[in-house]
Amino acid sequence: MNRFFYYVLAIPFSRLPMGVLYFFGSIFYFFLCNITPYRKKVIDANLKSSFPDKSDQEIKALRKSFYRYFSNLFVESLKLLTIKEKNLLERIKVNNPEVLEHLYQKNKGVVLISSHLNNWEYLILAQDLLFNYQAFGIGMPLTNKFWNQKLNERRERFGMIVTNAGNYKEKLAMNQRGPSATLVLNDQSPGKEENCYWTNFLNQETAFFFGAEVMANQLDHAVVYAELERVKRGYYQLELTVITDDPHKEEYGFITSKYVELLEKGILKQPEVWLWSHKRWKKTVPTNLDALKENHKERFNKRFRAGSSLRETA
Q: What is the pLDDT of residues 39-69, one digit of tens each?
A: 999 999 999 999 999 999 999 999 999 999 9
Contacts of 221 (CB under 8 A, 6+ apart): 108, 109, 110, 111, 182, 215, 247
Give residue 310's pLDDT.
41
Judge contact between 231 and 237, C-beta under 8 A: yes
CA 282 to chain centre: 18
State the alpha helices, DSSP H only, in 222-311. Answer: 254-269, 289-304
Predicted confidence at residue 254, as pLDDT, reads 98
219 close to 179: Cβ distance less than 8 angstroms: no
Task: Report the C-alpha gap between 73 and 80 in whole angstroms.
Answer: 11
Q: Where are the alpha helices (DSSP H) in 11-115?
A: 11-14, 18-34, 40-50, 56-79, 85-91, 98-105
Type of residue numbered 190: P
φ, ψ at 252 (rounded to 5°): -50, 130
Instruction: Decide: 208 and 256 in contact? Cβ < 8 Å.
Output: yes
Q: Report phi then psi at 141, rounded to 5.
A: -55, 140
Residue 307: its pLDDT value, please? 63
pLDDT single digits (tens) 197-252: 999 999 999 999 999 999 999 999 999 999 999 999 999 999 999 999 999 999 99
pTM for the model stands at 0.93
- At residue 180, the pLDDT reads 96
Dihedral angle sign, alpha carbons of residues 285, 287, 292, 293: positive
Give the Cα separation of 48 and 12 in Å (integer): 39
Please give the helix or strand (H or E) that residue 150 lies within, else none.
helix 145-155
Looking at residue 176, what is its pLDDT? 84
Query: CA–CA separation, 251 vs 253, rounded Å?
Result: 6
Structural domain spans, the chain: 92-310
Say if residues 226 and 238 touch (Cβ distance below 8 Å). yes
Specify whether the CB–CB gap between 212 and 184 falls below 8 A: yes
* pLDDT at res. 312: 43
CA atoms in the 13 A half-sphere facing the CB of 51: 19
Burial of 79 (C-beta count, 10 Å sphere; 0-12/13-18/19+)? buried
Can you give the pLDDT at residue 313? Answer: 39
What is residue 191's predicted lDDT score, i.e. its pLDDT? 84
Residues in the chain where the model's pLDDT stays below 50? 308-314
